[in-house]
Amino acid sequence: MNTHAIERVIPGRAPAPDIRYNSQMVEKLINYVMRRGKKSLARKIVYEAFDIVQEKTGEPPLEVFYKAITNLMPKLETRSRRVGGSSYQIPYEVPEDRQRTLALRWLVEAARNRREHSMAARLAAEMLDALKNQGEAIKKREETHRMAEANRAFAHYRW
């Protein structure tokens, strides 16, 4: 029996919702921001970023966050597959849970690479950029989509 053909789904554990907004997505964001186990510092950074977003937009920060994440979620990505001695980048549709994971990862990564003074300011600025469909994280999503489109010819290797 070919074990590679069997699709294995590993059940994930959902984090407990965060304190202020009672949202699992915010708690996941806190976990991505956290470094060296310093969760209270990460929580402070995220909440401060949400306060900055509220100040700048006048909208509820949770709504802005969800819209930004929705804008960042990729629909397609490529995976490498070896076929007859050569590797091909094969486009796949991205499952919804992975879309959220990638969006959060890209948001935090792009925020870390910004020039603002504090991490909270960087995160807030990147969230606002994602809301307007611009910024480094959006570029990352566009690049992923471009790669998938460019390799559409190899879609028949998907199995």
The enclosing domain of 102 has a CATH number of 1.10.455.10
In a domain, 138, yes or no: yes
Establish if 26 belongs to a structural domain.
Answer: yes
pLDDT at 3: 53
Q: How many CB atoms lie within 10 A of CB 114?
A: 16
Is the pLDDT assigned to residue 6 strictly greater than 80?
A: no
Within a domain: 101: yes
Assess whether pLDDT exceeds 70 at residue 99.
yes
**101 CB-near residues (< 8 Å, 6+ apart):** none
The parent domain of residue 47 ranges over: 15-73+89-157
- Tell me how far apart the alpha carbons of residues 146 and 131 are, in angstroms, rounded to a whole number: 20
Over residues 83-109, the mean pLDDT reads 91
- Measured CA to CA in angstroms, residue 68 lies from 61, 63, 65, 73 at distances of 10, 9, 5, 9
Mean pLDDT estimate for the chain: 90
Number of folded domains in the chain?
1
Among 111, 139, 138, 134, residue whose Cα is nearest residue 46 = 111
CA triplet 115, 118, 123: central angle to 5 degrees?
Answer: 75
The half-sphere exposure of 68 on its side-chain side, counting CA atoms within 13 A, is 31
- pLDDT over threshold 90, residue 110: yes
Q: Residue 141 above 80 pLDDT?
A: yes
pLDDT band at 82 (very low <50, low <70, confident <90, very high): confident
pLDDT tens for residues 18-76?
999 999 999 999 999 999 999 999 999 999 999 999 999 999 999 999 999 999 999 99
Tell me if 112 sits within 8 A of 52, measured CB to CB: no
Q: Is residue 9 pLDDT above 80, yes or no?
A: no
